[in-house]
Structure 1
Amino acid sequence: MNIEFNRNEDHLKQLTYQLRKKLQIVALGGGQKRIEAHKAKGKLTARERIQYLLD
């Protein structure tokens, strides 16, 4: 049973890592180039506008 626990733990760690990577990609929105273009126009990203409203 200990071996199965370790296997499940390793699998969970892999899934957690994959989820964090996907969340990082999603957080970029349209990508780094789009964010930079948006900033060059003097605008806030949607996430920044929401964060500003929540503060």
Structure 2
Amino acid sequence: MENRKYASVRVKVETYRQLKKEALDEGIPFTRLIDNLLALYQKEKAKTLISP
């Protein structure tokens, strides 16, 4: 049975690889995709911190 910690890392790596492949297929620089995702995450995080 796979350790939960390693399973979590494996899923994250697979997700990263899938995002990278899709970005390259669409012609989007991967770094721009990651920057956009980070900006969206920070915006959502700010919303949850502001709203009660």
More helix by share: 2
Choose between structure 1 and 2 for higher RCO, CA contacts under 8 A separated by at least 6 residues. Answer: 2
Normalising TM by the smaller chain, what interval? 0.3 to 0.5
User: Given the two structures, how large is their TM-score scaled by the length of structure 2?
Assistant: 0.47
The higher radius of gyration belongs to 1
User: Given the two structures, how large is their TM-score scaled by the length of structure 1?
Assistant: 0.44
